[in-house]
Amino acid sequence: MVAAVRVHKVGGPEVLTYEEIELPAPGQGQIRVKQHACGVNFIDTYFRMGMYPSPVGLPFVSGNEGAGEVTAVGPGVTDVKVGDRVGYVVALGCYASERNVPADRAVKLPANISYEQAAAMMLKGMTAEYLLRRTFKVDKGMNVFVHAAAGGVGLILCQWANHLGANVIGTVGSKDKAALAKANGCHHTILYRDEDFAARTKEITGGKLCSVIYDGIGKTTFPASLDCLAPLGYFVSYGSASGQVEAFNINILQTKGSLFATRPTLNTYAAKREDLLAIANDLFDVVGKGAVKIPINQKYALKDAVKAHKDLESRNTTGSSILLP
């Protein structure tokens, strides 16, 4: 038996149930991982509340990001061995002390990346990589806009975009978050609870506006996010922390300057093993050389997953959160 946090019926944070579950031996192509840390992500709340349907039905073990040591390998696994240190992103199953993972989704961790760092960044950091390097290629001198700049993905995006030479503008929910975002590469912060963020962006950029906006907020920042973009700019809607963007008339993209709009997910960008490894290696490189730091600002015991979700959804967290089995 192993400790795990399961959802038996979808709902609020209180449906997360800490319990003992059976763990079978790793099957064909699987490895068993003794988890050292589990990442907490906004997507975990979408599955918990049923906004994203669970691919394995109910009950399911929550969580989509983790890191640990390989303790057994199933039939057909050749390139991972017992004792390897791995990190991974897999849909569900991560809030557990031990679990089985498809070997082709596991990435071996370099010696200079700790388990806690890996659990705090495999999902958030690989997302930052594909958003900045693949969905839209950020370059020196560009104005780049990041919503929720002090959040888990947000702090990584700000540091990385800054490292690429961009001028980074970010929104934050409080003055403390503004100070934190600034300390992590965000050049200009906007308190979007009080200020008109599109008008402030116009001011900050002297009317030039931005080449790209990374919007993980969704419902409450749309369509104002489009007004932060220069002609031919990219609206990258990558999350729905405030609810999903509602259906809109595509002509709005024309009237606001022939804009591009996309709703990307890491699943697509890292679907092929070679892309998964390339994205992970790019992340390990910037973190390894200290250009991007992974602030782990909340640590909880695995049994306290309810509190972790409550804190995340009430906008009380900054940077990454992890659960420790």
Ligand X SMILES: NC(=O)c1ccc[n+]([C@@H]2O[C@H](COP(=O)([O-])OP(=O)(O)OC[C@H]3O[C@@H](n4cnc5c(N)ncnc54)[C@H](OP(=O)(O)O)[C@@H]3O)[C@@H](O)[C@H]2O)c1
List of residues contacting ligand X (CB under 6 A): 41-43, 123-124, 127, 148, 150-154, 172-173, 177, 216-217, 220, 238-242, 264-266, 312-313, 315, 317
Q: Which is nearer to ligand X, 6 or 124 (CB)?
A: 124
As measured in angstroms, the least distance from the Cβ of 145 to ligand X is 14
For residues 169 and 299, give the distance between their C-alpha atoms in angstroms, rounded to a whole number.
28
As measured in angstroms, the least distance from the Cβ of 30 to ligand X is 24
Q: Which is nearer to ligand X, 190 or 210 (CB)?
A: 190
Q: Which is nearer to ligand X, 106 or 172 (CB)?
A: 172
For residues 208 and 199, give the distance between their C-alpha atoms in angstroms, rounded to a whole number.
12
As measured in angstroms, the least distance from the Cβ of 6 to ligand X is 20
Q: Which is nearer to ligand X, 70 or 181 (CB)?
A: 181
Smallest Cα–Cα separation from 184: which of 149, 227, 140?
149
- Sorted by sequence, the CB contacts under 8 Å of residue 32 that are 6+ apart come out as 23, 25, 26, 70, 71, 72, 73, 74, 98, 99, 100, 101
For residues 153 and 282, give the distance between their C-alpha atoms in angstroms, rounded to a whole number.
16
Q: Which is nearer to ligand X, 30 or 237 (CB)?
A: 237
For residues 145 and 215, give the distance between their C-alpha atoms in angstroms, rounded to a whole number.
8
For residues 66 and 89, give the distance between their C-alpha atoms in angstroms, rounded to a whole number.
7
Residues 167-201 as b or e (16 or more Cβ within 10 Å = b): bbbbbbbeeebbebbbebbbbbbbebeeeebbebb
Q: Which is nearer to ligand X, 104 or 313 (CB)?
A: 313
191 Rama sector, left if φ>0, alpha if ψ -120 to 50, beta otherwise: beta
DSSP state, residue 96 = B
Q: For 34, phi and psi rounded to 5 degrees?
A: -85, 110
As measured in angstroms, the least distance from the Cβ of 311 to ligand X is 9
As measured in angstroms, the least distance from the Cβ of 47 to ligand X is 11
Q: Helix (H) and strand (E) counts for the chain?
A: 9, 16
As measured in angstroms, the least distance from the Cβ of 306 to ligand X is 16
Q: Which is nearer to ligand X, 151 or 325 (CB)?
A: 151
Distances in Å between the Cα of 117 and the Cα atoms of 61, 198, 215, 216, 279 are 22, 34, 24, 22, 16
Q: Which is nearer to ligand X, 64 or 143 (CB)?
A: 64
As measured in angstroms, the least distance from the Cβ of 206 to ligand X is 25
As measured in angstroms, the least distance from the Cβ of 243 to ligand X is 7
